[in-house]
Chain A
Amino acid sequence: MKTSLHSKTSLLTPESSTEAISSKMKDVNPEVGSLQPRKRKGNTVSKATQNEKSVLESSNAQAPTKEKHKGLESVPIFTLITTYLSYLILILFAHIRDRMGKLFYPGQYALLRESDGYAPLISDFESLWIRRLYTRISDAFNRPITGVAGGHVTLLERTSKDHNKTFELTGKKTEVLNLASYNYLGFAQNTGYCADQVELSIKNLGLSHCASRAQGAQTKMILETEKLISEYLDVEDSILISMGYATNSSVIPLLVDKGCLIISDELNHSSLVSGSRLSGATITVFKHNDPSDLERVLRRYISEGQPRTHRPWRKILVVIEGLYSMEGEIGDLAGIVALKDKYKFYIFLDEAHSIGAMGKHGRGVCEFLGVDHKKVDMLMGTFTKSFGAVGGYIAGKKDLIDYLRLKSYSSVYGEVMPIPVMEQVASSLRLIMDIVPEHKGEGPKRIKQLEENSSYFMRKLREMGFLILGDQGSPVVPLLLFNPGKIPAFSHECLKRNIAVVVVSYPATPIITGRVRFCISASHTREDLDYALEQIDEIGDLLGLKLLK
């Protein structure tokens, strides 16, 4: 190990003094801090619709525009060509190896062939990518850990004797700096107020109800937690659902069905996509984060009506995210809300990553962008990220929420949220809302710390000349790697230097823009970040990643 990471206490452990460190930070970096929503620069929106009545142009909404990243235009042609070429070679070799393999070792491919009248369960073509490309780098994924995934995390070392087909634990453990978990506010903890509360709840109430909410497991605790969420988000009512994924996939089918239209951002999360599919509504997409394209789609679909019958749509639901976690990009909520009055659609906003992590009080993108959250019909979020729990919520009007309590698939067929998890939600929420007298100021401190950490980290990386996606204020910082060879290499280099990172490549991203994604947490200290930056700087030189230099 290069530095002794063990010795560093996290900012948020009780014994460390937060004030001291953050004041120190101000010395180092005076300009860190105020994060104002960016103002809209007049001419950027609405080019697709050449209609003078376009709401976007006539409205005075303070839509923050997407500051065009000093982005893909500035990527050297050389990088683009080599990236495509590398993939080409990889695929070519994959095919050749597959051909050879089938010829010489047919036994190994039995699963992919029709045999004895059974079709293969895994299709040959589909799995080529996995067998030949993913497996090569699969040691960068599914890395097992133990303990808390906090600012630092303990990895269980594993080795593979058969080229990543299987892994074995060696029994060795390494503590590494964690730039991978969605622990934005640092609530992944086994000590402190939340853990104490959770312990109490286990002792007093038990663990789980072994039943669904609609059939006998609606507890006073759920209702109280929901009340807390509603208060926090300043909405009429909210419903707690035991899983974030299911919050999307099991609620959307209740909102829209046949004869309705879903307009979905093209980069929406899988849970939103599967919810949309299950609903039976007509689905269409608009260009990622582009309100003018949304307007074009709306105009076209409203004027055409339903396919074939041309009856008017029953409802239109626009499904978007607050913070796109692969891009680190903040949704253009203001631009979309500005269209709402005219086109009368409903908005489903997924704040999985932004709730808690963004805005002055952690109330998500609405607060961050200064958009009236009452304009959003369904505010959805998860407790998996910032709150250190699991599960999700939907917030909105009372009649909507009551309907979901009665009918959402999760209420009727799913398990109710386990008691310790619910207590983690409630207690972390109380800290964020700053209503625990003994821990006054802890929640806001975390929010501020996260904001400082992420903008510091992003700014430093940009200064080093890396190609960084993501908007200012996002706790997710993606760094573009391009060449497929660099993707595992970056992960390995980081691991060598005791840093855990997440790398993502095609098919999760466009083929060209493989990336590493850093998730910044409030529990990272300035030393943690500086250490990481120093190491990433070195790796950047080693792998030739500083494309803007």
Chain B
Amino acid sequence: MRFQDRLFFISKSSLATVLISALPVLGSSDAGNHSENAKTHGFFSYGARFVVRYVKASYRDDPFRTFLELCLVLFIVWYVSKQKYKFNQVDLKLSEKDIEELIKEWKPEPIVPLMTTHEKEVFDNFPVIDSPTGTVLKLDNGKSVINFVSHDFLGLMNNANAKEKAVNTLRKYGVGPCGPPGFYGTLDVHMELEALISSFLKADATILYSQAMSVCVSVIPCFSKRGDIIVADDQVNFMLQQGILLSRSRVYWYKHNDMEDLKKVLEKIDQVESKKKGPIPRKFIVAEGLSMSTGNILKLDKIMELKKQFKYRLILDESLAIGAIGPRGAGTTDLFGISVKDVEILIGSLCLAFGGSGGFCCSSKQLIGHQRLSGAGYVFSAAMPAIMAITAADGIRRLETDSYALLNLLRRNIATLRSQLGRIKDIVIEGDIRSPQMHIRLTESAYKKCISSNLNSSNEQTWENEDHVLLNIVSHMRDNGILVSQCVYVKEHEHNIPRPSIRVLVSCTHTQQQLEKLSQSLEEAIKAIAK
């Protein structure tokens, strides 16, 4: 029904076009003869006389043609005047019966699609943990495994001191604050934690968000609006991508950690923008200190230069970096000796290295004040439970007082594991050598061996197949007492899906034997699967 409608519409409009273009052609033979005096007369009188003469002449020559042309003119007038309805109101033309039919005919898709075989495999492979948190976990099948999946770089998880503090906090504050910070949800412990973060990072001011995943989606749309410009690394983590999407700004991507490419992109934008008039848009570079999806460390010094040169502001996500790198463990800024105050907006998390929950943003006082009124995750969501705030604060204090020992242990473990893994010929380790998060992939040849013995349908190197092989390795390792995980993504929503990898997270609590066991078990797993 709707389709016929459209056809009718199209045929009508094309008819009109043909007629309009045909009209002058029909009259052109006569019109030419009478145009000598055009320059000596005024346009209107000339036009009027022209029409009169033209009509007279044509009536004399061919009355039928005059009639035909008149009909055409009338038709065009009628047609144009009729076209007043709006295009999106097709329903005006549908009768109630048509609508009923359309409604009856319409069939929605199921609310969620069925899982693909690969998705099902990933889902069924989620381990179930049945034990306290810690370096050694027990699974629900009774097996003990060594934990390489927690971002517990500093070994702050499950320590007696934090637990005792948590219980004391519980006895004073209860669990939930029963409201957003704006409505009597701001606790004294929140303010203390904010001050502590500011002093640890040497920032102007800090705002707490109750969940790490809500920080990026709140902060970016808070400052970058429609029409503004965001230049982002094409492998930024998913929540940054979502924040960028939500801001509705214009986005330009540069190749992951490639400063040359960034410069090119900035120059190109500069060329286009400098020609435009009007107020300049806000311009941001969005990058990650220690990359979630690759483990690479940002070249912060270079970015600082570029941002100054091209007059951009920096939104830096240090979620993974803080508590993992830098001489004080204060992240990339610490590593490069750059003041946090020079970074316009810095995002961090408390739920990873510090073992608490939530995240934060450091910025100038005014911009933090602005977020307290406009940051969606701050305004519209419940405040952080006091227990988790105290736990995070405890974590930060422990790092502050004991940074030398904790970080040295961590670095030693990273180095040990790297050198042990380096002996395995079948794998490639991605990421910076200082990163406690490692992404492990198979070499081409190892992949070929594994895939041919594994999949009978197709052994192309697709994302799914590669992930499938890694998943088999992970599950083999788990059976042998090592808990690692292959990276899981919401593949169809990622901007630039990273290649599948196994993610290993090193903690300073891992012993040498545990690290050794990891590399042994990885080697064995590859061997077993490639056979």
CB within 8 Å of B: which residues of A?
Answer: 51, 53, 111, 114, 116-123, 127, 130, 134, 141-150, 153, 155-156, 178, 180-183, 187-191, 194-195, 198-199, 202-220, 223, 242-246, 249-250, 253-255, 269-271, 274, 277-278, 298-300, 302-305, 307, 310, 312-316, 342-346, 377-378, 382-385, 387-390, 399-400, 402-407, 409-410, 412-415, 418-421, 424, 500, 502
A206 touches B158 (CB 8 A): yes
For chain B residues 140-181, which have a beta carbon within 8 Å of chain A?
A: 140, 147, 149-152, 157-158, 162-163, 166-167, 170-179, 181
- Given A246-B214, A299-B103, also A216-B485 (CB < 8 A): yes
**Residue pair A181, B108 in contact (C-beta under 8 Å):** no
Taking the nearest CB of chain A, how far is it from the CB of B481, in angstroms? 14
List 21 A-B residue pairs with CB atoms under 8 Å apart, sorted by A's residue number: A148-B174, A180-B179, A181-B185, A195-B171, A202-B163, A212-B488, A216-B127, A218-B128, A218-B129, A219-B128, A220-B140, A242-B357, A243-B210, A245-B211, A245-B376, A278-B246, A300-B91, A346-B111, A390-B176, A413-B237, A418-B387
Q: Please tell me if the beta carbons of A149 and B185 are within 8 angstroms of each other in the complex.
A: yes
Complex CA gap A171/B382 in Å reads 25
Closest beta carbon of chain B to A281's beta carbon, Å: 12
A206 touches B184 (CB 8 A): no
Query: B381 touching A307 by the CB < 8 A rule?
Result: no
Partner of A315, one of B108, B179, B490: B108
Knowing A180-B183, A181-B183, the reply to whether A310 touches B6 (Cβ < 8 A) is yes
Q: How far is the CB of B61 from the nearest CB of chain A, in Å? A: 48
Q: How many residues of B contact A (CB 8 A)?
A: 119
In the bound complex, what is the Cα–Cα distance between A313 and B106 (angstroms)?
8
Residues A310 and B2 in contact in the complex (CB < 8 Å), given A343-B103, A399-B114: yes
Does the CB pair B132–A208 fall under 8 Å?
no
Contact B130–A114 (Cβ < 8 Å): no
Is B150 in contact with A209, judged by CB distance below 8 angstroms?
yes
Q: Does B187 reach chain A (CB closer than 8 Å)?
A: yes
Interchain nearest-CB distance for B366 vs A (Å): 6
> In the complex, A313 Cα to B102 Cα: how many Å?
11
Question: A181-B184, A303-B102, A420-B170 in contact; A243/B6 too (CB < 8 A)?
Answer: no
Q: How far is the CA of A216 from the CA of B100 in the complex (A)?
A: 50
* A182 contacts B356, C-beta separation under 8 Å: no
A411–B127 CA distance with the chains assembled, in angstroms: 14
B90 at the A interface (CB under 8 A): yes
Taking a contact as CB atoms under 8 Å apart, the answer to whether B173 and A220 are in contact is no
Chain A neighbourhood of B490, CB < 8 A: 254, 407, 409, 412-413
Are A384 and B391 closer than 8 Å at their CB atoms?
no
For B305, what are the chain A residues with a Cβ–Cβ distance below 8 Å? none
Distance (whole angstroms) from the CB of A451 to the closest CB of chain B: 19
Chain B residues with CB under 8 A of A400:
111-112
The reply to whether B111 and A223 form a contact with Cβ atoms under 8 Å apart is no
Chain B residue numbers with a CB within 8 Å of A243 are 210-211, 213-214, 381
Q: How far is it, in angstroms, between the C-alpha of A155 and the C-alpha of B373 when the chains are bound?
A: 21
Distance in angstroms between the alpha carbons of A304 and B129 in the assembled complex: 50
Q: A274 contacts B123, CB within 8 Å?
A: no
Which single member of B182, B212, B370, B488 contacts A127 (CB below 8 Å)? B370
Cα(A304)–Cα(B3), bound, Å: 11
A255 in contact with B111 (CB, 8 Å): yes
Shortest distance in angstroms between A121's beta carbon and chain B's nearest beta carbon?
6
A53 and B100: CB pair below 8 A?
yes
User: Among B45-53, B280-288, B405-413, which stretch is in contact with chain A?
Assistant: B280-288
Q: Does B217 contact A (CB under 8 A)?
A: yes
Taking a contact as CB atoms closer than 8 A, the residue among A153, A342, A389 that contacts B175 in the complex is A389
Residue B186 lies at the interface, judged by CB distance under 8 Å to chain A: yes
Given A134-B373, A249-B217, A346-B108, the answer on whether A111 and B387 have CB atoms closer than 8 Å is no
Between B131, B149, B179, B185, the greatest number of chain A beta carbons within 10 A of the residue's beta carbon is seen for B179
Additional 12 contacts, C-beta under 8 A, given A277-B246, A303-B102, A315-B109? A121-B370, A142-B182, A189-B174, A199-B167, A199-B170, A204-B132, A205-B132, A210-B151, A215-B488, A255-B112, A383-B176, A421-B388
Q: Judge if B433 is at the interface, Cβ distance under 8 Å.
A: no
The answer for the CA separation of A540 and B6 in the assembled complex, in Å, is 62
Tell me which residues across on chain B come within 8 A of A382, comparing CB atoms.
Answer: 382
B131 vs chain A, min Cβ distance (A): 8
CB-based contact B178/A119 at 8 Å: no
CB-contact partner of B184 in A143, A210, A212, A305, under 8 A: A143
Annotate B77-121 by CB proximity to A: 1 below 8 A, 0 otherwise.
000000000001011001010111011001111011111000100
Q: How far is the CA of A342 from the CA of B101 in the complex (A)?
A: 11
Q: Report whether A421 and B385 are in contact in the complex, using a CB–CB cutoff of 8 Å.
A: yes
Which residue of chain B lies nearest to A386 when distances are taken between CB atoms in the complex? B178
Given the known A-B contacts A215-B488, A313-B106, are A244 and B90 also in contact in the complex, defined by CB atoms under 8 Å?
no
Say yes or no for B264: interface residue by CB 8 A criterion: no
Which residues of chain A are near B90, meaning CB under 8 Å? Answer: 303-304, 310
- B-side contacts of A141, CB under 8 Å: 182-183
- Report yes or no: A389 in contact with B238, Cβ–Cβ below 8 A: no
Q: In the complex the two chains form, is B157's CB within 8 Å of A342's CB?
A: no
In the complex, what residues of A have CB within 8 A of residue B313's CB? 118, 121
Contact status of A402 and B123, CB under 8 A, knowing A130-B373, A219-B130, A220-B129? yes
Residues of B within 8 A of A148 (CB): 172-174
Instruction: List residues of B (329-358) whose CB comes within 8 Å of A's CBs.
Output: 344, 351-353, 355-357
Q: Say if the beta carbon of B242 comes within 8 Å of chain A.
A: yes
CB < 8 Å neighbour of B187 from A144, A204, A410, A420: A144
A414 near B370 with CB under 8 A, answer no
| Bound: A385/B382 CA distance, A | 9
**Chain A residues whose CB sits within 8 angstroms of the CB of B162 once the complex forms:** 207
CA distance A86 to B126 in the complex (A): 60
B441 at the interface (CB under 8 A from A): no
The answer to whether A344 touches B107 (Cβ under 8 A) is yes
Given contacts A210-B355, A245-B380, A299-B103, contact A149 B184 (CB under 8 A): yes
Interface string of B375-412 (1 = CB under 8 A from A): 01101111011011001000000000000000000000
Q: How far, in angstroms, from A26 to B341 measured CA to CA in the complex?
A: 62
Partner of A119, one of B214, B217, B280: B280
Contact at A144–B99, with CB atoms within 8 Å?
Answer: no
The residue in chain A whose Cβ has the minimal distance to the Cβ of B310 is A117
B299 within 8 A of A: no
User: Nearest Cβ in chain B — how far from A70, in angstroms?
Assistant: 27
Tell me whether A406 and B115 are in contact (CB under 8 A). yes
* B91 lies within 8 A of A299 (CB): yes
